[in-house]
Amino acid sequence: MLIVFLCFVIYLSNIIYLGTPPTEPVNMAGTLRNVGRLVPNRSALFLCDLQEKFRPIVQYFPEIVAISGRMLHAAKALNMPVIITEQYPKGLGRTAAELGIDKYLDIKPVEKTQFSMCTPEIIGLMKSKYPDVDTIILCGIEAHVCVQNTALNLLENNFNVHLVVDACSSRSLVDRMYAYDRMKSSGVFLTTSEAVILGLLGGSLHPKFKEIQELIMKSAPDTGLLSMRSRN
C-alpha cells in the first residue's frame, strides 16, 4: 500500500508540474512604481511667498512660517538646494523674518509676478545647476493659488512633488482643503513636515541625525488640518 501511495503522489506531482511550470524570475527594472521615496541628493526645497503682508490674512501664518523654517534648516543641513520666491515684494513685502533666511548667505529670494514659482529663471537654474534633482518639496502660500500653480507646473516639468500640508495655507480653509484635493488628484504626494524630515534622513545612522532630530523633538504646531478633514 505504501508503494501504491507513493506512486500516486509522484503521479500527481508530475501533473501539477506539467500543468503549471515554475514562473521565470521577472526583471522589474523600468516597471517599478514611483512611491515617492525621498533622497537628499535628488531633492530640493521650494518655499513659496512667505511674505510679511500675508500675516494678518492667511490662516495659521505664524505656524506655517515656523514649520517652513524647520524645513529650511533640515534642507540646508542636508546640502539640498533651496529656492525661495516673493510675489511682487514692492506691494506684498519681504519674506517673514522668522523664517531665518538671513542665516544663509547663499539664499536670495527670487522676485516674481506670475503665480507659479516655475519662472524661466528658476526652471533654467534647476535644469542647469541641479540636473540630478527630480523631486521638489513644496511649502508656502497661498495653497490654492501660487502653491497649486507651482505644483502643477513642476509636474509638467517632470518633477515629483511632495506638498508639506502643515507648511501651506490660504486665507480660506475651504480653498486650502480643495487645493490639496486638486493637487493630490494630479499626482502630488501629500505629506507632513516630520514625515519629510525623517524620510530624508532614512535612519538614525545618518551623520546629520542628531542635529536634525532637534528640529522635531517638539511636535510641529497645529495648523488646522484636523478641522479641515472633519468637514469631509
The alpha-helical segments, DSSP class H, found in the chain are: 2-19, 61-77, 89-92, 120-129, 148-156, 173-186, 193-201, 209-216, 225-229
Asked about 112 being catalytic, the answer comes back as: yes
Distance CA 196, CA 162 (A): 8
Q: What are the cell numbers at 126?
A: 534647476
Asked about 184 being catalytic, the answer comes back as: no
- 64 contacts 223 by C-beta, under 8 angstroms: yes
Q: What are the cell numbers at 187?
A: 499626482
- The catalytic position among 48, 118, 139, 146 is 146
- The catalytic position among 49, 76, 139, 166 is 49
- The catalytic position among 48, 76, 112, 166 is 112
Distance CA 210, CA 20 (A): 53
The phi, psi pair for 30, rounded to 5°, reads 90, -10
Give the position of cell 492667511: 58
Distance CA 52, CA 138 (A): 19
Asked about 49 being catalytic, the answer comes back as: yes
Torsion region of 142: left, alpha or beta (phi above 0 gives left; psi -120 to 50 gives alpha): beta
Catalytic residues: 49, 112, 146
